[in-house]
Structure 1
Amino acid sequence: MKLSDPRANRSRQALLSAGIEVFLVNPHASLTEVAAFAGVGRATLYRHFETREQLIQELARESLALTDKAMQPLKIQKLEGREAIEAMLHAVMPLANRFHFLLSLWSIAEDDPEVTDIYNRQLDEMAELVEQGKKAGDINTALTTTWIVTMIDCLIYAGWYLVRDNKCDAKEAAESAVQTLFSGIRA
C-alpha cells in the first residue's frame, strides 16, 4: 500500500493514536498491544513500523512538531524574553496528556537524529529567550543560560506529570512553573 492510499493513511494515524494511548498506560507495551488497540493486524502494523523504536521515534517527531505548532502564535506576536517564556509555558502545558509518556521513552526517541536535531533547535530557541530576559533584567545573569534552559525543561516535565496524575490542570501547572521560575519557592 502506498502512503498516499487513504486506507494506509488511516491505518497509520490509528497506529500513532493507539501508540500514544497505549504508551500512556504502559510505556513498555509491545507493538502487538498497539496494533490490537488500533484495531489493525500485525501485518498492517509492520508495513508502517518495523520496530517499536520506529513507532516511538515517530511519536517523538509528532510531539516536537506539535510543540512547534503551539509556539507559532508566540513567534508571530514576536514575544521576547520573560513574556515569551511565560507564554511558552502556557502553550506547552496542555500537551501533557498527549506526550508525557515520552519522558520514560526518551532514550529510544533520541536515537533518531531528526528527533535530536529538532529538540536541540527548540532548546536553542529557549536559550535565546533566556538571553533576551537577561538583557531586559528579568532573569538572573549569575545563572548560566544552560542551567536556566534545563530548569525550564524540567518545570515543563514536572507540570506534565502533575497534569497526567490529575494533581492540577494545564493552566495551574503553567502558572506554577512561571511562579517557580521567576519568583522561586520562597514565601
Structure 2
Amino acid sequence: MPVSKAERTRLLIIQTAIQLLSQKPHATLNDIAKAAQIGRATLHRHFKNREDLILCITLDALHQTEKACAPVMANAATAKDALWELFKAMIPIGDHYGFLAQEFDVMDQPEVASLYQQQIMALRDLIEGLKKEGHIAADIPTAWAASLVDTLIYSTWSAIHKGDLAPNEAPSLALRTILNGLGEHKQ
C-alpha cells in the first residue's frame, strides 16, 4: 500500500528527530525542522509541540525495539543465541535505542513506562538465562549486566556510525565483549 505524502513527512520528522535528539537532547523544534528540511509550520501540522513529538518518538523507539527483539527472544534455542540475535537486530537501530537513554520527561507516561518496563524485564530474563548457561558469572548483578548490554548496543551503533567499526564485525564484537568480560573471575 502506498504511503501518503503526509505519512512520509511524519516519518521524516520522526527519524530526523530521533537522530538529532540522540546527539543533541536540547534541540528545538526549529532545529528539527531545519534538519528535516521542512518548514516549522509543516512540523506543527504533525506535532503540536516538542513534548508531543518527544512522546511520539519515544513510543516509536520502544515499538521499533520491541519489533526487533520479540522474534529473537521467542525463537532462540539458548540464551547465548538470543544475545547474538539481539545484537544483530538491535545494533542497526541503535539510534532509536540511544534516544531512549536521553532524560526526557515522557518516561513516566503510562504507555511509555509499561513498554519500557517490559523490555527491561525481558533483558533481565535474558541475563538470567546467560547465567544459567554459565556464560555470565552468577555473582554479577543482573541489573548491572543488563545495563552493560543496553549501553553496548548504543555504543556499538555509534562506533559504526562514526566509521570506527565495520557493521559486519559489530555483533560478534559485542557478544565477545559481554561473554568474555563477564565470565567467571579466575586468578
Q: When the two structures are superposed, what TM-score results if normalisation uses the length of structure 1? A: 0.79
- Kept after mapping to 1: 8 A contact 2:58/2:112: yes
- Compute the displacement of 1:42 (Å): 2.8
The answer to whether the 8 A contact 2:64-2:96 is kept is no
State the alpha-carbon separation in 2 of the partners of residues 166 and 53 from structure 1: 32
Asked if structure 2 preserves the Cα contact closer than 8 Å seen for 1:27 and 1:105, the reply is yes
- Confirm or deny: 8 A CA contact 2:61 2:97 kept in the other structure: no
Contact 1:18–1:34 (CA under 8 A) maintained in structure 2: yes
User: Corresponding residue for 1:84?
Assistant: 82
The code of the aligned residue for 1:10 comes to R
1:125 correspondence with 2:110: no
In structure 2, distance between residues paired with 1:159 and 1:7: 34
Structure 2, unmatched stretches of 5+, are none
Aligned length: 181
| RMSD of aligned Cα (Å) | 2.8
Aligned pair partner of 1:54 in 46, 52, 55: 52
The structure-2 alpha-carbon separation of the partners of 1:42 and 1:158, relative to structure 1 and needing over 3 Å to count, comes to closer
Q: Which moved more, 1:145-154 or 1:6-15?
A: 6-15
**1:100 & 1:85 partners in 2: Cα distance?**
16
Please report how far the alpha carbon of residue 53 of structure 1 lies from its aligned counterpart in structure 2 after TM superposition: 2.7
TM-score by length of 2: 0.79
1:71 and 1:88 in contact (8 A); partners too: yes
| Map of 2:7 onto structure 1 | 9
Aligned to 1:74: 72
Equivalent position SS for 1:79:
coil
